[in-house]
Amino acid sequence: LLSITAAFTATATSTSTSTMPWFPGGKLDSRKEVSLFFVYLTVGIDIGGESVVLPILNRFAIEFGVSLALVGTLFSGTALAMVLSNVWLPLFADKYGRRNAMLISMVGSTIGYFGQATSNSFSMLLAFRVVQGLFGGVPPVAMAYVTDIFTPNERPQYL
* CA–CA separation, 57 and 52 (whole Å): 10
Give just the sign of the alpha carbon dihedral 53, 117, 82, 108: negative
Give me the pLDDT at residue 9, please: 47
Q: What is the pLDDT of residue 20?
A: 54
Q: Which amino acid is at 13?
A: T
Please tell me the pTM assigned to this model. 0.74
Q: With contact defined as beta carbons under 8 Å apart, do 12 and 31 qualify?
A: yes
* pLDDT by residue, tens only, the chain of 159 residues: 444 444 444 444 444 445 555 555 556 567 777 888 888 888 888 888 888 888 888 887 788 888 878 888 888 999 999 999 989 998 999 999 988 998 999 899 889 999 998 999 999 999 999 999 999 888 888 888 888 888 888 888 877
**Cα atoms in the 13 Å half-sphere on the side-chain side of 50:** 22
**Would you say 133 and 80 are in contact if contact means Cβ atoms under 8 Å apart?**
yes
